[in-house]
Amino acid sequence: MDLFVFTSTLSPTLLYTSLCLVIFTILFLFFTTKSSSKNSTPPPKLPPGKTGWPIIGETLDLLLIGRKGHPENFLHDRMQRHCPDIFRTSLFGDSKMTFFCGPTAHKFLFTNENKLVGAWWPKSFNKIFLSEGTSALNSLATSSASVQVEESKRVRNLISGFLKRDAIQKYIPVMDAVAKHHIENEWAPKGDNVVVIDMAKKFTFELACQLLLNVTDSKQVAKFDDRFRNVIAGMMSVPIDFPGTSFNRAIKDANLIRKELLTLIKERKMAVQQKNKDSIIIRDLLSHLLVTPDEDGKLMNDVEIADKIVGQLIAGYDTASTTITFILKYLAENPHFYDEVFKANVTCWSVHSTHKNPAFFPNPEKFDPTRFEGDGPLPFTFVPFGGGPRMCPGKEYARLVILVFMHNLVTRFKWSKLIPNDKIIFKPVPFPEGGLPICLHPHKN
């Protein structure tokens, strides 16, 4: 029996977090078991629900509802219509999906990863993310669940070596320098009209290119940026691979990105080989993966490295920048919190990630970071980075990037919104429709 599950609570914020999985790596968590039937009438043990149109299933519904600004309604409608805890649907070319909803589902999934459930991607994502003709990856895609689990653990351990808290703290000076440079050269000159979403994306992507690839050339960064935008747009489009479609463009651009990365990897490899092993200083994830063997002493091959780097860049593409955008929005709307942040000289990532289910977070629409004080939210109700063995490997990186950036911005400027009631739209991550234009007010001293 194939059963495909996805977890979410009732809240839009959490839905956003979960939707991030689809986009950036990244980012839906899908769990599978086997399904048996293609009949329209489900066998008795399948959850209630509809699989919609052939191939596209209910994808259009999800995208349209997201564009109207309420992607959570895709869940709410079906939870009401079919069942509040579990329902079946079909998205992004996969007809056997089941959504699990609420904290109990979170607990179940996080604690049963690799036991009762395993992570899995929609077929359409594989077309974008797996290199063509790579026997290792193609065989992995069709290999047994236990091989996939082991492989995923191996890759995760290698990547976490670079992204874990202790390791990533070494890069705070780089983050700080890039943030200062960015604010000075991009934000300050446009002071009376800074479109936050664009600037935040530019900053987080430039920093990711530097810390993950050691690429600092602005032209190369801009070229990567254009291609990544297309890849992300294609990931969330109807998966029709035909010239001119977003999906087709995403496949082409993902291939171009990998090709460029392979060239970069070859150059870097040669540079590494010319050096004495002990004199190599690791400054980026790519170099880390080139020289760090797994537990069996095996190094990743070039294609694997390129694929993994693409995954990290996609996973981190919109997530941190959207978070920065919303922190700025909420701080502009709630100046008393700005003052506290300024006085404390520190900001906290979690203030942004409010959960909107009143059953767990009273008055969920209100921006109230104090809700995270004291004992904080109930277990499994606040899971912005997921949980269990697949918890976001970029969470320490994201937290630090956001903290360092906010520290630098808050210590130089206050700001006010230029569009008072900018609508929030979801594409599929949430962002203010006008991009959050703000006016910066430098501190007097």
Site of interaction with ligand HEM (CB under 6 A): 17, 20-21, 25-27, 29, 119, 156, 311-312, 315-316, 319-320, 323, 384-388, 390-394, 397-398
DSSP assignment of 397-419, as one string? Answer: HHHHHHHHHHHHHHHHEEEEESS
CB of residue 59 vs ligand HEM: minimum separation in angstroms?
Answer: 20
CB of residue 193 vs ligand HEM: minimum separation in angstroms?
Answer: 26
How do 30-34 and 2-8 pair as beta strands?
A: antiparallel
CB of residue 319 vs ligand HEM: minimum separation in angstroms?
Answer: 3
Choose between 163 and 238: whose C-beta lies nearer to ligand HEM.
163
Cis amide leading into 428 (omega within 30) = yes
Choose between 155 and 440: whose C-beta lies nearer to ligand HEM.
155
How far apart, in whole angstroms, are the C-alpha atoms of residue 14 and residue 103?
11
How far apart, in whole angstroms, are the C-alpha atoms of residue 294 and residue 188?
45
Choose between 74 and 121: whose C-beta lies nearer to ligand HEM.
121
CB of residue 145 vs ligand HEM: minimum separation in angstroms?
Answer: 15
How far apart, in whole angstroms, are the C-alpha atoms of residue 445 and residue 259?
49
CB of residue 109 vs ligand HEM: minimum separation in angstroms?
Answer: 8
Choose between 26 and 175: whose C-beta lies nearer to ligand HEM.
26
How far apart, in whole angstroms, are the C-alpha atoms of residue 176 and residue 298?
34
Choose between 235 and 238: whose C-beta lies nearer to ligand HEM.
235
CB of residue 395 vs ligand HEM: minimum separation in angstroms?
Answer: 6
Choose between 29 and 425: whose C-beta lies nearer to ligand HEM.
29
Is residue 396 left, alpha or beta, with left meaning phi > 0 and alpha meaning psi from -120 to 50?
alpha
Beta bridge partners of 32: 4
Residues 353, 320 contacting (CB under 8 angstroms):
no
Q: How many CB atoms lie within 10 A of CB 300?
A: 21
Length of the chain: 445
Beta bridge partners of 49: 88
